Chain A
């Protein structure tokens, strides 16, 4: 055990964390407090009139079937993005970890998509799947007879946003899985191989459990990404459509507040969203982390 370093004076450590605290306060606590405050009012956008309405913005939220639909589609979306991005990334990382030719080239190419901004990723996918001019949409129609139309078909729209959101995240997951795999001691795997364990068995019994801290970390990061950072994808690809079917929570809160200027309703949604994130994180650290072997 390394000795703990102690600061000579009491003030210095506080001074050192101060910039961080100021940033957290300014960019997290202050806006959150504002959102909570605003969620109890109806307000005209120019700030001329403000009517206190108590919990009305919240009761409206819970009574509105649209909000429930938005909630369930968000959950479905975040889970699909997380699962597909993690499973594919894990598979690719395992392949890349083998002794193969052009390994570093392959790795570089895998990491590349992460450099693409989420919004741009959305545009790229949208372009390929555009029912009118997209290459893949054309291929699906001409070769497979599938009439691709994410403008009117919910399943198509859902697949498209999931794919665009997951595609980018695969790179991120890939890096972590690869790092995790490289820290798995070779002798363990070799010993198992000598004992006659099949590659599948070696993976599930040795490699996967040893990867669990990475997997756990990525699970949280991906869910958070799926819930909260996929706004640009939805904004760009479906704009919530067809109908309102891909109105995920963050998109809806943004739309109601920024475009439709309903500050109270949008704030109430943000507050609910905030509680959701807190609950999610607490849950994950409390219950899932216990099963993780470090």
Chain B
């Protein structure tokens, strides 16, 4: 299953302080481990919210609010997308995220929807049955 790992902002990340060399080295090493374990799909770090904006929706109205935003702890500083076997595995990996500078921060783990999550609309198992046909029709040709 796919999880989005949300790295929450802290005063440093919001102030645009670049990560220390030690943190960068350890993060690179950690990312390499994720790749070698076959679980890292994608990941990016985000600029401080000062460089971002929000669009607020109210019916047909759209209001644009420029950053920075106040609630630092609720903001996101970066993310990974992982493909793991279980939430427990994701938690184990998140526990190992390096934090060499000893600061306070939080990482949130959220499961990503996948096609099978929508199968509640297939109580009769009809989709499952059709799968057999699907294979016959598509696998043997044009990939």
| A and B: bona fide binding partners | no
The interface of chain A, by Cβ under 8 A from chain B, is none
